[in-house]
Structure 1
Amino acid sequence: MIISDLVITNNTFNFFINLYFKDNNSIPDIVMNYKKTNPKFTKKNYERNENLDEIQLAKWYAGLLGKINL
């Protein structure tokens, strides 16, 4: 989850995506390095549970699909 005092732009989103896909940073590394910056990267409480139940997983997928621009 990206949190900021400013508007989150595509550039901000792409920056964090590139950390994961292009720079091969793990999610825990990104969280650790950007948890106190602005914008900051953090996890939602339910994402901290590695064993999501079906309802949580369905909500996570729906939220993710809603953010993808095709």
Structure 2
Amino acid sequence: MQQSSKPKTRRKYDRTGGPADFKSEIVKMLVSGQTAAYVSKALGVSENLIYRWKNQNQGVKKANGEQNELSLENQQLKD
């Protein structure tokens, strides 16, 4: 058996609106109640990657929330 000499390439998940849109759509699917296993099989994306995107999305939301709190506090201190 002969192995391919081609290096393994990484898949890029850039659907119509770009990779960020594709990732956010997957996270929305999870939030709406679909399982990571179902989304994984339906879209051909590994479950681990789906969970990573979900965690990254939650981290962004948390960071934005903290930033908003800091901005509000700074504004209150200025007044």
Shared fold per TM-score greater than 0.5: no
Of structures 1 and 2, the one scoring higher in RCO (CA 8 A, sep 6+) is 1
The structure with the greater share of residues assigned to strand is 1
TM-score (norm 2): 0.40
Give the TM-score of the pair, scaled to structure 1.
0.44
Structure with greater Cα Rg? 2
